[in-house]
A and B are shown apart, each in its own frame.
Chain A
Amino acid sequence: MNKDNSEKTIYGILAEFRNPKELTDASKSIVESGYQHFDTFSPFPIHGIDKAMNLKKSKLGWIVLGHGMLGFLGALSLISFTMVFDYPMNISGKALANVPAWIPVTFELTVLLSAFGAVFGMFFLNGLPKFNHPLFNSENFQRATDDGFFVCIESEDPQFEEEKVTKFLKDAGATNIETIYDE
């Protein structure tokens, strides 16, 4: 830790753990100690960590449902507008509102809009793209996408005190602890 960092604001305390199990156990004890503003980082999603971190159900399903409905109704209104009202055409005496023949396009557009909802909704919920983040200031944090398992307790947390959090993480079994500063 450098002395001249003292004027900078602290973003949080980053602690490294050895493996997925220790990360899961650490998140459990963080939640039990009442910290709310924290996050864990791992190179792949860890089975069961959502429970340990007490994460709420993702809202993504509703976003996808909304987009899917938009695709479905949008397709039906586009087809009925063009085929029945704007340019009615008699094709071998078939009904103008030839609904069974509209199923393929309606289906495809429902899937397309739902997929947009799933992908862009996911990035929206995650606050991405965000190219700059205080955690990227840590050299060691690069291993979070390789084989590192990290916890960061953020300074936003009402209980946050640098020494207290550092000690707490050390007791939880962290191997490497550093303070992250907001640039």
Chain B
Amino acid sequence: MSKTYKYVPEPALIKGNHDFKDITAMITDINVRPTPKGWYIAFGIANMLLLLLLVSIAYLIWQGTGIWGLNAPVGWGWAIINFVWWVGIGHAGTLISAILFLFRQGWRTAINRFAEAMTIFAVMCAGIFPGIHVGRIWVIYWVFPIPNQMSMWPNFNSPLLWDVFAVSTYFTVSLLFWYVGLVPDFATIRDRIKSKIGKMAYGTFALGWRGSNRHWWNYEKAYMILAGLATPLVLSVHTIVSFDFAVSIIPGWHTTIFPPYFVAGAVFSGFAMVLTLMIICRKIYGLEDIMTIDHMEKMNMIILVTGTMVGFAYIMEQFIAWYSGVEYEKAIFMLRAAGPYAWAYWIMFACNVFSPQFFWSKKLRRNVAFTFVISIIVNIGMWFERFVITVTSLSTDFLPSSWGYYSPTIWDMATYIGTFGLFFTFFLLFLRFLPMVAVAEIKGVMPQADPHNYDKNGEYVPPKVEVPEPYKNQTN
């Protein structure tokens, strides 16, 4: 049997006819020119939400965790749900910057910078919850192996301590990775900005970077190594987060599917959040040529894949509960789908399993408004997934005498809404003061950057891509 395979050329990563100077101007002008009014309005709203977070944390410390809806069977409520949700959101950033880098996916350069920023701020929001949920926040240093007057050490056999190391390492490595990528761009802004304070500030962070190719040589090596380190790291972090559940013996938690299923869910929700933010930013800042529909389509494909993986995990959980013959497992999964929390289970199922299936259609994958809606639905769905996992299992464990129903209080909600204030405060500062696209990297993936695309006299010759007849109308 013979089959002729056709080469389908990749569409150009950057639309329009831009040279290096245009790219620098398009991205860094946002940082160099005066602050627009709309930014102040958004920043004000974000600050008010941040204030709400601070008030709820202050009241929590003053009064204790009793202000939350926690009760005797359900000792873990919104705090752990929000923690897992925010950590999961963060994963797309590292995935884009590390895993796609190792796979030589040039399209990542358009979105990696602000996906990484999203990671860092999301992990900050996540980190708040384990910090405050201990109740006695003034002894939170007990989670670190610091010699103290009681000569006690934390328990290294406990998944909760693994979590401390996983999340703090993740945050630190993401921050380093982000900063290393930013250094050449800080130098670009330093050389363009007019104000003296701006020159000082950006110059300090640029560390005197001057684009030397002897430096680039070590820099690229460092970037490669960091990507190689961050790849297993990102997979390990959510695996370890899932150990918080899976290493216990509570029915519905004690399963080996948790690590891969949590990682898939994290990537799923993270990409949805990147899309939500990207669709807004590209519109406001006029970056449609850089963050193109093609990028959106590729991310939608990842959402489709991971969403289907998550759906597979939901069905597999039900199957294994039945197949294992353990009556507690069987009962908890019956209750998830038909018990007092069935409403949450079906919201989760509809949002996470059914809604991404629309992306099988190319038309819908490339529809901006539709993608925006789905990206928000996915994030809602993933929040409900964590709710279902945490609350259903805890509220119905082995003994009917310790069964109960969990509902949140106003303070649970205020704290959760408040973390959006933290997230958007930082995100808006990022949009205002840092280049939201990796300038040096995006220049590196342009055809003009490759010495092979110049003729003998040093004139630029755009690479010729021959489009086979049946694909001619598909490049755009």
Q: Please, what's the 1-or-0 string for B181-219, where 1 marks a CB less than 8 Å from any CB in chain A?
A: 000100110111000000000011001111111111111
Let me know if A21 is at the binding interface, CB within 8 A.
yes
List residues of chain B with CB under 8 Å of any chain A CB.
19-21, 24, 145, 151-157, 159, 161-162, 165-166, 169, 172-173, 176-177, 179-180, 184, 187-188, 190-192, 203-204, 207-222, 225-226, 229-230, 232-233, 236, 240, 243, 439-441, 443-444, 448-454, 458, 460
Q: A27-B213, A43-B24 are in contact. List 7 more A-B contacts (CB 8 A).
A: A20-B451, A41-B213, A46-B216, A102-B157, A104-B159, A111-B229, A115-B172
- Asked if B458 and A21 make an inter-chain contact with CB atoms under 8 angstroms apart, the answer reads yes
Q: A43-B443, A89-B155 are in contact. Are A126 and B184 (CB under 8 A)?
A: no
Partner of B222, one of A87, A121, A136: A121
CB contacts (< 8 Å) of A136 on chain B: these are: 210
Closest 7 CB pairs of A and B: A122-B222, A147-B20, A21-B454, A129-B207, A82-B153, A45-B216, A104-B162
Chain A, 140-161, contact with B by CB distance < 8 Å: what is the 0/1 string?
Answer: 0111111100000000000000
Chain A proximity of B386: nearest CB distance (Å):
21
Q: Can you identify 25 A-B contacts, CB atoms within 8 angstroms?
A: A19-B448, A19-B454, A20-B449, A21-B451, A21-B453, A21-B458, A41-B213, A45-B440, A45-B444, A58-B217, A58-B221, A60-B222, A61-B225, A83-B157, A91-B157, A111-B169, A111-B233, A119-B226, A122-B180, A126-B218, A126-B219, A131-B208, A132-B208, A144-B210, A145-B210
Residue from A39, A40, A108, A146 within 8 A of B192 (CB atoms) = A146
Most buried by B among A40, A101, A116: A101
Q: Which of A2-10, A47-55, A162-170 contacts B (4 or more CB under 8 A)?
A: A47-55
Chain B residues with CB below 8 A from A21, complex form:
451-454, 458
Min CB distance, B9 to chain A, in Å? 20
Neighbouring A residues of B218 by C-beta, 8 Å = 58, 60, 122, 125-126
Q: Are B156 and A101 in contact (CB under 8 A)?
A: yes
CA distance A43 to B216 in the complex (A): 10
Given A49-B213, A86-B153, A147-B19: A104 and B165 interface contact (C-beta under 8 Å) = yes
Known interface pairs A40-B213, A112-B169. Does A128 touch B151 (Cβ–Cβ under 8 Å)? no
A144/B221 in contact, CB under 8 A? no
Q: Say yes or no: B220 contacts A48, CB within 8 Å.
A: no
Q: Is the interface of B mostly helix, strand, loop or mixed?
A: helix
Q: Inside 8 A of A18's CB, which chain B residues have their CB?
A: 458
Q: Given contacts A44-B443, A119-B222, are A83 and B156 in contact (CB under 8 A)? A: yes
Max chain A C-beta neighbours (<10 A), residue from B173, B187, B188: B173
* Closest chain A residue to B458, Cβ basis: A22
**B208 in complex: contacting residue of A82, A102, A129, CB < 8 Å:** A129
Quick one: closest A residue to B453, CB to CB?
Answer: A21
Tell me whether B180 and A119 are in contact (CB under 8 A): yes
Residues of A contacting B222 in the complex (Cβ-Cβ under 8 angstroms) = 60, 118-119, 121-122
Take A39-B212, A43-B443, A89-B155 as given contacts and tell me if A118 and B226 are in contact as well, using a CB distance cutoff of 8 Å. Answer: yes
Contacting pair A24 B169 (CB below 8 A): no
Please name all residues of chain B whose beta carbon is closer than 8 Å to the beta carbon of A86 when the two chains form the complex: 151, 153
Of all chain A residues, which has the CB nearest B163?
A104
For B215, the closest partner residue in chain A by CB is: A126
> Taking CB as reference atom, which chain A residue is nearest B240?
A104
Chain A's closest residue to B25 (CB) is A146
- In the complex, which of the residues B221, B226, B230, B453 has the most CB atoms of chain A within 10 Å of its own CB atom? B221
Nearest-neighbour CB distance to chain B for A95, whole angstroms, equals 10
Choose from B188, B230, B458 the contact partner of A146 (Cβ within 8 Å).
B188
Please name the residue on chain B nearest to A48 by beta carbon.
B451
What is the CB-to-nearest-CB distance from B88 to chain A, in angstroms, rounded to a whole number? 18
A173, B457: Cα distance in complex, Å = 10
Contact of B156 among A44, A82, A111, A122 (CB under 8 A): A82
The answer for the CA separation of A38 and B322 in the assembled complex, in Å, is: 71
List the A side residues contacting B444 at CB < 8 Å.
44-45
Q: A146–B440 contact, CB under 8 A? A: no
Give A53 Cβ to nearest chain B Cβ, in Å: 6
Would A41 and B219 count as touching, CB distance under 8 A? no
A13 interface contact, C-beta 8 A = no
Q: When the two chains form their complex, are residues B208 and A130 in contact, meaning their CB atoms are under 8 A apart?
A: yes
